Amino acid sequence: MTDLSQFIAGLPKAELHLHIEGSLEPELMFELAQRNNVAIPYASVEEVRAAYDFSNLQDFLDIYYAGADVLRTRADFHDLAMAYFARAAADGVVHAEIMFDPQTHTDRGIPFAEVIEGLLSAMAAAEAEYGLTSQLILSFLRHLSEEAAFATLAMAEPWLDRITAVGLDSSEVGHPPAKFARVFAAAREKGLKITAHAGEEGPPAYVHEALDLLGVDRIDHGNRALEDEALVSRLAAEEMTLTVCPLSNLKLCVVNDLADHPLDRMLARGLKATVNSDDPAYFGGYVADNYRAVAQARGLSRADLVTLARNSFTGSFLPAEAVARHVERLEAYAAG
Ligand code: HPA
Ligand code: ZN
């Protein structure tokens, strides 16, 4: 490992944008297919990996939802999340805020309880085993109706004390934040934090809507905000955290080349950017790989990397004392 690579692996960091279903590695997909007697349209792990060649978000989503079909029981969700936590811990992640898509499972007849109980048991095990804390973000699928999102929120009611936030993901263009204004207001009323994917493929107007109509605490991605100067100034002034995902942006053709990735321009313009893996099993790397790839492509300094890691803590949903503790540990690491 190079010095920089080692520095990145040891850098204490939070991961704020991770879809747990997107951490399903082909090996585990095969294992679960066998365990649950589910047919999958691939003959080998190599064939699965070869299928991960996407030209846009929808291309990926079609394969991602199909892959999730092997997840059936609470043990499957537990194993899925434990595999992620092991990888994250090895990457220096000390806190993770993980998204899950209940509708991907409840619409296949999997009870909400199986999904969330499997995830919660893995979260407890990861804290015991790795000292890695985590929180849950329930994400609504935006290609479905607001009514369906309300039904999902109702299903989550018995677990609301164990859910930190709600999010909005899936096919962005044609499904603006405005479509979900009421359900996000209801979630906020229940004390949940708010995040939403905006400006990944959708226009800057969707980022404005996420701010004005959903009242987001964070923006997931936000790349296309850079097309709107006034929006950039507003995001900077509000210290709005952006959960940026470099390898995802490359694989989904949000950028054509990592050499063109806007991460350092975001920082230079005062935006509070963070680095995250999004769907690491599909996009070719976990969070440290994302730091490494973008650091190399854009020539980031150690100071930039420390800023990104600091933003991951200050942009998290942790209480202020925990944020302060993590930042202190980070500063000690940075000081060598
Ligand atoms: N964008 C939108 N929806 C998603 C993503 C993403 O990057 N990953 C999983 N669901
Ligand atoms: Zn995402």
Q: Would you call 97 a catalytic residue per the annotation? A: no
Instruction: Write out pLDDT tens, residues 103-143.
Output: 999 999 999 999 999 999 999 999 999 999 999 999 999 99
Of the candidates 216, 97, 221, the residue with the CA atom closest to the CA atom of residue 163 = 97
Residue minimizing CA distance to atom 4 of ligand 1: 170
**Which ligand sits nearest to residue 170's alpha carbon?**
1
326 carries a ligand binding annotation: no
Three-state SS annotation for 295-313: HHHHCCCHHHHHHHHHHHH
Q: How far apart are CA 90 and CA 72, in angstroms?
A: 27
Handedness of CA 142, 143, 145, 151 (dihedral sign): negative
Distance of CA 170 from the midpoint of ligand 1 (Å): 5
The structural domains of the chain, with segments of one domain joined by +, span: 2-335
223 within 8 A of 265, measured Cβ to Cβ: no
279 carries a ligand binding annotation: yes
138 within 8 A of 165, measured Cβ to Cβ: yes
279 lines ligand 1 (CB under 6 A): yes
Instruction: Write out pLDDT tens, residues 66-109.
Output: 999 999 999 999 999 999 999 999 999 999 999 999 999 999 99
197 carries a ligand binding annotation: yes
Fold exhibited by the domain 2-335: TIM Barrel (3.20.20)
304 lines ligand 1 (CB under 6 A): no
Q: Which of 200, 209, 227, 331 is catalytic?
A: 200
- The pTM (predicted TM-score) of the whole model is 0.98
201 lines ligand 1 (CB under 6 A): no
What was the pLDDT predicted at 112? Answer: 98
